[in-house]
């Protein structure tokens, strides 16, 4: 078991409590952080909406050395942090992470810009209903989807939802960020995990990312959706333990 703390960054609209199941199963120390404006974390002043600005807020919370795990938007932040501070991150784990969230002329495996805009428009009308819709999308196609959805909903209810302005800022980050060029510069040993039936970030995006990173291995988890660390907890921990043992 790697003695370094496992630091976890969650995805858009959620909070650090989504990692409670992982913490209960993991033998080493786990530190789960709230993204700006999510859970118990205060919204950034002026509700900044760039990946680097949010990374600046998270960086002081990282231990001097750690294994960094990021999920979805948290995965993009983890990738940026590993690019900026490789000496502090011994191993990197990217879960349901894509280097570019929206599709474009040269990127077919992203969410359609119009679909992301519908989420943004929905936030303005009814942010709670929009977040509920997004939670359902995350578990669609996954084994034990109802149970996984209940755990996501429980995390939001117990630890606090995200500030609506932070939600809008997070969507802007997802719309604007493109880490395809950055991937080749991250030499930290990396495990990229995707769900076979992920409806939020296509598994082909994870495979592309693993291929672009200099020292990465890729695992696609069968019958998993966007949150395999919740729906497939035992399998997820086994992959994580194998990766850390192999890297060591």
CATH of the domain at 99: 3.40.50.1820
189 confidence band (pLDDT: 50, 70, 90): very high
215 assigned to some structural domain: yes
pLDDT band at 239 (very low <50, low <70, confident <90, very high): very high
> Is 1 a member of any domain?
no
pLDDT of res. 151 = 78
The answer to whether residue 226 is catalytic is: yes
221 φ, ψ (degrees, to nearest 5): -90, 120
Q: Quick check: is 32 in a domain?
A: yes
- Give the Cβ contact number of residue 165 at 10 Å: 16
- Using the Cα atoms of residue 178, residue 182, residue 188 and residue 189 in order, give the sign of their dihedral: positive
Flag whether 185 is in a domain.
yes
Model confidence at 2, pLDDT cuts 50, 70, 90, reads low
Catalytic residue among 38, 197, 226, 239: 226
Given 16, 49, 72, 231, which residue is catalytic? 72
114 found inside a domain: yes
Query: Which pLDDT score is estimated for 196?
Result: 94
Which residues share a beta bridge with 102? 111
* Helix, strand, coil percent content, the chain, rounded in steps of 5: 50, 15, 35
Domain contains 170: yes
Active-site option among 16, 194, 198, 239: 198
In a domain, residue 97? The reply is yes
Structure tokens at 159: 């630890």
Distance CA 165, CA 47 (A): 7
Question: Rounded to the nearest 5°, which phi and psi values hold at 219?
Answer: -130, 125
Contacts of residue 181, Cβ cutoff 8 Å, sequence gap at least 6: none
Tell me the two tokens of residue 243.
């990766």
Q: Structural domain tally of the chain?
A: 1
The pLDDT tens digits for 74-128 are 999 999 999 999 999 999 999 999 999 999 999 999 999 999 898 888 888 887 8
Q: What is the pTM of this model?
A: 0.92
User: Is 72 noted as a catalytic residue in this protein?
Assistant: yes
Which residues constitute the domain of residue 184?
6-247
Any domain includes 120? yes
Pairing of β 6-9 and β 89-95: unpaired
- The per-residue pLDDT for range 133-185, each reduced to its tens digit, is 877 877 777 777 788 778 778 877 777 678 888 888 999 999 999 999 999 99
């Amino acid at each position: 078991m790697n003695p370094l703390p496992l630091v976890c960054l969650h995805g858009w609209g959620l909070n650090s409590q989504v990692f409670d199941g992982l913490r209960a199963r993991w033998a080493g120390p786990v530190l789960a952080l709230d993204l700006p404006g999510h859970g118990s974390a205060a919204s950034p002043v002026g509700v900044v909406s760039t990946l680097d600005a949010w990374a600046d807020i998270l960086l002081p919370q990282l231990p001097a050395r750690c294994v960094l795990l990021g999920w979805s938007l948290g995965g993009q932040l983890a990738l940026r942090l590993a690019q900026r501070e490789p000496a502090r991150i011994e191993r990197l784990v990217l879960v349901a992470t894509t280097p570019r969230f929206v599709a474009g002329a040269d990127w077919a495996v992203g969410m359609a810009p119009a679909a992301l805009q519908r989420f943004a428009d929905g936030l303005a009308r009814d942010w709670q209903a929009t977040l509920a819709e997004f939670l359902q999308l995350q578990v669609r196609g996954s084994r034990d989807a109802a149970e996984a959805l209940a755990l996501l909903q429980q995390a939001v209810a117990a630890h606090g939802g995200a500030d609506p302005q932070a939600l809008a800022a997070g969507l802007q980050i997802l719309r604007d960020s493109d880490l395809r060029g950055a991937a080749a510069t991250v030499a930290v040993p990396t495990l990229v995990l995707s769900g076979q039936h992920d409806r939020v970030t296509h598994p082909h995006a994870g495979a592309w990312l693993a291929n672009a990173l200099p020292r990465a291995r890729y695992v696609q988890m069968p019958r998993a959706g966007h949150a395999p660390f919740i729906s497939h907890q035992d399998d997820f921990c086994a992959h994580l333990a194998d990766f850390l043992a192999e890297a060591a």
